[in-house]
Each structure stands twice: as C-alpha cells, then as structure tokens.
C-alpha cells in the first residue's frame, strides 16, 4: 500500500529538523511548525489540559465479577480473597469471596 503523499511529505519535512532547533529557546514550536509546513498552511489549536482518568470503579469491577460463571469466580479466589487489577490504570480492587459471589472452594 502506497503511503499517502501528505504523510510522506510531512515525514520528509520533519526529518530536516536539527536537534539544535528542538532545544532552541528562541524557536517556538509554532515558529518551527510554520517554518516546516507553511506551504500547506499551519493551524495551531489551543492546548487542552490532559487528565489521566480511568472509568473503572469498585462497583463496575464488582458487576463484572458477577457476570462470570460461579466456577470461574471460585477459581479467582487466592489466599482467601479475590484481587482484580485494572489493566488500564493499575488500580487494585480486593473482594472477599462472598463479595465476589465466590465461595471459598469449600462448597458442600
Ligand atoms: Zn482503571
């Protein structure tokens, strides 16, 4: 698949930037962008603050646990508890087997 011409052009222009230009205090990012891409037109948007935020919650994890089959929940019990780590934000949620809807493996 041939790369888009604009992308190739952008890459080739970016590759002309010298390291010293990137740390030049007299050369703002806006000026550098204009220097590189003025022929295509440069639009700089206002910066937006970013915030690391995950939508996970103890309630959501609990609801997810309850969607598993009872046997799967029982297999998640380790050392008398169920520990779930969010893969996105690394938050750790701990539940008792009862809270997780899993018996301790000692079901009759
Ligand atoms: Zn999370």
Domains contained in the chain, number: 2
- pLDDT at 1 (0 to 100): 65
Measured in Å, residue 83 CA sits from the centre of ligand 1 at 13
* Same domain, residue pair 65 and 44: no
* Same domain, residue pair 32 and 72: no
Measured in Å, residue 80 CA sits from the centre of ligand 1 at 23
* Same domain, residue pair 44 and 56: no
- pLDDT at 38 (0 to 100): 92
Q: Domain containing 86 — which CATH number?
A: 3.90.1280.10
CB 63 within 8 A of CB 100: no
* Same domain, residue pair 69 and 100: yes
Domain that residue 96 falls in: 52-108
- pLDDT at 23 (0 to 100): 92
* Same domain, residue pair 10 and 59: no
Q: What is the mean pLDDT of each run of 10 residues along the chain (108 residues)?
A: 85 93 91 91 90 92 93 93 95 94 59
* Same domain, residue pair 60 and 108: yes
Measured in Å, residue 66 CA sits from the centre of ligand 1 at 18
């Amino acid at each position: 698949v041939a790369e888009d011409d604009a992308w190739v052009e952008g890459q080739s222009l970016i590759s002309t930037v010298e390291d010293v230009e990137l740390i030049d205090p007299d050369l703002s990012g806006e000026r550098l962008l204009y220097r590189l891409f003025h022929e295509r037109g440069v639009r700089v948007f206002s910066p937006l603050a970013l915030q690391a935020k995950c939508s996970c919650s103890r309630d959501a994890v609990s609801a997810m646990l309850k969607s598993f089959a009872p046997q799967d929940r029982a297999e998640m019990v380790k050392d008398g508890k169920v520990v779930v780590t969010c893969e996105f934000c690394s938050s750790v949620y701990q539940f008792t087997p009862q809270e997780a809807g899993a018996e301790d493996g000692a079901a009759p």
